[in-house]
Amino acid sequence: MTPEILAAHRRKTRRFFMQCGLAGIIAMESHPLLGQGDNNNQSLDEAINGIESWLTRQDEFRDISRGTPLPHQLPESAKKEVGLTRATWKLEIVSDDDAPSRLRNPLKKQTGTALDFNQLIEIGKTHAVRFPKVMSCLNIGCPLGMGIWEGVPLRKLVWMTQPVNNLRRVFYNGYHNEDPSQLFRSSLSVNRILEDPVDLPPVIVCYKLNGHWLTSERGGPVRMVVPEAYGFKSIKWLNRIVLSNIPHANDTYAKQNNDLDSPIKTFCNLFPTNANYAANAPIALTGWAQVGQAGLNKVQVWIHPKDTPLPEGDKYFETAPWRDAKILGPPKEWGGDLPDGKIVLPTDGFDVSGMPEQWPIRLTKAHWATLHPGLKPGKYIIRCRTVDNNQHAQPMPRPFRKSGHAAIQAVNIVVN
């Protein structure tokens, strides 16, 4: 690294570790910066400088929207009519006809008691919460975007209906062109809504992302956001919540063989690499890691000559000579088009000065970099993997494809 970049990185890293106390400083000193003794590598500097921002602008998320037409592409007049604007949005919270919960006060359009946007914002004035979360699709090997999501805990709205008994499951959907075949529904145990598991923020009815009103493409005016879950639980264009006595999940996503109860996994990828590298010159590599429920302890890289056999009987390459990469500290700028570039406080995981309480932050994204020693001419495969805070190396402890993508990535390169 050039002295300036190293200095800047040290400054921000020191500032960060001051917040963590002495243990953090020791951890940092004994965790040398990239490349052990090879701190003058321009290609590594360039790669690190080119890394995406930590937060994603709303319009730069990858979009997973269903519907014909896509609800966010309806003309403004149609959006107004169907309740997809802040001025016309209404949320119903009702009992399930087939497995009724007893509610003293269901919120219904018919009786004029459905919740509107102003009421939601009013509740938000005293009860809003914000937390960072990576939006990630169970079936896609790359996070869709990183945001700070803001909204009202769903339990506040559930309690407004004055439930009495027979309430075990809560399911919900968004606007779907009023066509039953387009319904995309998700569900939660009522217990997840009423009480948060240790360390997790509440499930929220969300109206802001990165400090701005939620855009139509991101599911605005209002979407559900479930902190620890894959994207399919975070229903967009939310307009109906059903309180039910069914004892099981009834998500639309179950129909495609997805495992509905899987929290997001820890796994990593490389940013696109060169196809060719010069022989005997260090190789700069960078990438991202999704920090799942079990946190992120390490990112590791292994470059294997293509014509050499892989370790036998070792499906997940546990015996391979993995090398630790460096997990980069908090960035100087958060990105994501935050108002004034600042984290709005309070936000879960950030202290009163707007600095992260821990790094990397669980259920978000982190970035990493490494300088791999130069190689002889030949064909190689680069692989990378995470190790979580329970010391499980990717794709363990939950390797099955349909509980969330976490396959070890393999990238071909040529050295000549």
CB 252 within 8 A of CB 186: yes
Q: Which residue's CB comes closest to ligand MTE?
A: 231
What is the footprint of Mo ion within residues 225-244 (CB under 5 A)? 231-232
Instruction: Give Cα 215 distance to the centre of its chain.
Output: 18
**Whether the bond into 100 is cis, omega within 30 of 0:** no
- Residue closer to ligand MTE by CB (options 219, 336) is 219
Instruction: Give Cα 7 distance to the centre of its chain.
Output: 30
CB 326 within 8 A of CB 368: yes
Cβ-proximal residues to 168 (8 Å cutoff; 6+ apart), any chain: 189, 190, 244, 245, 246, 247
Stretch that binds Mo ion, among 64-72, 141-149, 174-182, 260-268 (CB under 5 A): 64-72
> Which residue matches tokens 């680069």?
382
Q: Name the minimum Å distance from CB 138 to Mo ion.
A: 6
| Single-letter code of the amino acid located at 81 | E
DSSP state of 135: E
- Single out the residue of 135, 243, 268, 284 in contact with ligand MTE (rule: CB under 6 A): 135
Give which of 264, 385, 369, 383 is closest to 39, Cα–Cα.
369
Q: Name the minimum Å distance from CB 152 to ligand MTE.
A: 18
Phi/psi of residue 344, nearest 5 degrees? -70, 130
Residue 232 in the binding site for ligand MTE (CB under 6 A): yes
Distance of alpha carbon 364 from alpha carbon 356, whole angstroms? 12
The tokens for 150 are 């803001």
Q: Which does 160 bind (CB under 5 to 8 A by kind): ligand MTE, Mo ion, none?
A: none
The tokens for 411 are 């990238």
- Single out the residue of 144, 157, 241, 270 in contact with ligand MTE (rule: CB under 6 A): 144
- Single out the residue of 64, 82, 254, 396 in contact with ligand MTE (rule: CB under 6 A): 64
Q: Which does 66 bind (CB under 5 to 8 A by kind): Mo ion, ligand MTE, none?
A: ligand MTE
Percent helix / strand / coil, the chain, rounded to 5: 20, 30, 50
What is the footprint of ligand MTE within residues 146-205 (CB under 6 A)? 174, 184
- Single out the residue of 66, 248, 323, 376 in contact with ligand MTE (rule: CB under 6 A): 66
Q: Which residue's CB comes closest to Mo ion?
A: 137
DSSP state of 156: H
Residue 143 in the binding site for Mo ion (CB under 5 A): no
Give which of 287, 384, 282, 291 is closest to 47, Cα–Cα.
287
Q: How far apart are the first and last CA of the chain?
A: 24
What is the footprint of Mo ion within residues 71-110 (CB under 5 A)? none
Q: Name the minimum Å distance from CB 409 to ligand MTE.
A: 20
- Single out the residue of 43, 53, 65, 189 in contact with ligand MTE (rule: CB under 6 A): 65
Cβ-proximal residues to 97 (8 Å cutoff; 6+ apart), any chain: none
Residue 404 in the binding site for ligand MTE (CB under 6 A): no
Residue 28 in the binding site for ligand MTE (CB under 6 A): no
Stretch that binds Mo ion, among 63-71, 182-190, 298-306, 328-336 (CB under 5 A): 63-71
Distance of alpha carbon 170 from alpha carbon 248, whole angstroms? 10
Stretch that binds Mo ion, among 45-53, 108-116, 136-144, 300-308 (CB under 5 A): 136-144
Stretch that binds ligand MTE, among 31-39, 105-113, 188-196, 232-240 (CB under 6 A): 232-240
CB 222 within 8 A of CB 205: yes
Size of the site for ligand MTE (CB under 6 A): 20
Distance of alpha carbon 59 from alpha carbon 218, whole angstroms? 8
Q: Name the minimum Å distance from CB 185 to Mo ion.
A: 13
Q: Name the minimum Å distance from CB 194 to Mo ion.
A: 26
Burial class (CB in 10 A: 0-12, 13-18, 19+), 69: exposed
Q: Which does 119 bind (CB under 5 to 8 A by kind): ligand MTE, Mo ion, none?
A: none
- Residue closer to Mo ion by CB (options 140, 194) is 140
Residue 62 in the binding site for ligand MTE (CB under 6 A): yes
Size of the site for Mo ion (CB under 5 A): 4
Residue 137 in the binding site for Mo ion (CB under 5 A): yes
Q: Which residues bind Mo ion (CB under 5 A)?
A: 64, 137, 231-232
Report the interface residues with ligand MTE, using CB under 6 A: 61-66, 135, 137, 144-145, 174, 184, 218-219, 231-232, 234-237
